[in-house]
Amino acid sequence: MGSGQPRGRGGGRPTLEEVAVRAGVGRGTVSRVINGSPRVSAHTRAAVEEAVAELGYVPNTAARALAANRTDSIAVVVPEPESRFFSEPYFSDIIHGVGSALADTDMQLLLTFAGGDRERRSLAQYLSAHRVDGVLLVSVHADDPLPDLLQQLEIPAVISGRRSADEPLASVDSDNFAGARAAVDHLLARGRRTIATITGRLDVYGAQRRLDGYVDGLTEAGLPVSADLMAHGDFTEDGGRRAMADLLDRRPDLDAVFAGSDVMAAGARQVLREAGRRIPDDVALVGFDDSAIARHMDPPLTSVRQPIAEMGRTMTNVLLAEIADTRPAAARRLGRQQIVLPTELVCRESS
């Protein structure tokens, strides 16, 4: 009795040559049919497809990728410590979006961290060997050398959040400026006038744009922009705690806080509670991301929703298009996309 597995003449898997003999065509014609080329007549295509079905031929995707100088894999590179990746919902939401965009492809996903110099050197060697077809860069700081390395190597890459206004790589970002502006406008509409902010690391362009939106909202309302009401965090809960304590020392009269992330807002809330400040009666609190943290805080946190999973999906689709683009590198650079997705303020009890 047979095993049910297709066998070629030598007892192994059927080969491309055997399909060609069965269909009465050349090997190149079979290859064109399998790869979806339009340069094949309907009659020939039918003959090849019939031979493929009869023999049970399965294309060797690894060999096809090698022949096309492709690895059929992409890397998600996070230039942050692993501890931050696993503590912030932002990263898991991005990965969820990337995974959903790759679900109907044959692409494999490699996740790698590059939070230290040693990891960066190791990653640079890996990328220099062209072991992936493209790279998604998530949470990149202004002085990070990785984007420039990718450009030098001419590896297709998409960045999550630009490093500056003139980012040369393709990028996908949320509208950080408009999101922050909406948060400040909301607090002003609630009658708050001494509005503080806790920023993320300002070498991250998105954090700088959130600060710009905060400043713009106060300026438009005719309120002074005071350095005493600005504290710098680092997108961590502990950073939010330290910044909030600093703000209360400097400006005990503050009546609202806009935090540049939900995680920092959670840290700020702890300090406000310990200082006997009621939320929102004494101090209104708004975050950014609209993560699960916002919904589960007490009171639930008003937050700026950025479509993080959609950002991951969009980044991946842009990268797949870049990988498929066979034009010279100079031509590809001219058409690189800079996509900005809208944000939305979600109002809850904290404000």
Q: What CATH number should be reported for the domain holding residue 31?
A: 1.10.260.40
Highest mean pLDDT among 75-79, 140-144, 151-155, 219-223: 219-223
Residue 11 counted as domain residue = no
Residues 110 and 164 in one domain: yes
| Confidence check: pLDDT of 272 > 70 | yes
Residue 349 counted as domain residue = no
pLDDT, residue 37, reads: 67
Residue 3 counted as domain residue = no
pLDDT, residue 4, reads: 45
CATH assignment at residue 112:
3.40.50.2300
Q: Which of 82, 157, 83, 150 is nearest to 112 (CA)?
A: 82
* Average pLDDT of every residue of the chain: 87
Residues 315 and 168 in one domain: yes
Residues 84 and 112 in one domain: yes
Nearest-angstrom CA–CA distance, 348 and 351: 7
Q: Which of 200, 192, 275, 270 is nearest to 231 (CA)?
A: 200
Residue 32 counted as domain residue = yes
Higher pLDDT, 67 or 345: 345
Residue 347 counted as domain residue = no
Exposure letters 306-320 (e unless 16+ CB within 10 A, then b): bbbbbbbbbbbbbbb
Residue 289 counted as domain residue = yes
- Total domains in the chain come to 3
Residues 135 and 45 in one domain: no
Residues 159 and 213 in one domain: no
Supply the DSSP symbol for 300.
Answer: P
Residues 272 and 193 in one domain: yes
Query: CB of 219 within 8 A of CB of 159?
Result: no
Task: Tell me if the bond preceding 280 is cis, omega within 30° of 0.
Answer: yes
pLDDT tens-digit readout, 86-144: 777 888 899 999 999 998 888 889 998 887 778 888 888 888 888 899 999 997 877 78
Residues 127 and 199 in one domain: no
Residue 10 counted as domain residue = no
Neighbours of 57 (CB within 10 A): 21
Residues 228 and 197 in one domain: yes
Q: Domain residues for 48? A: 16-68
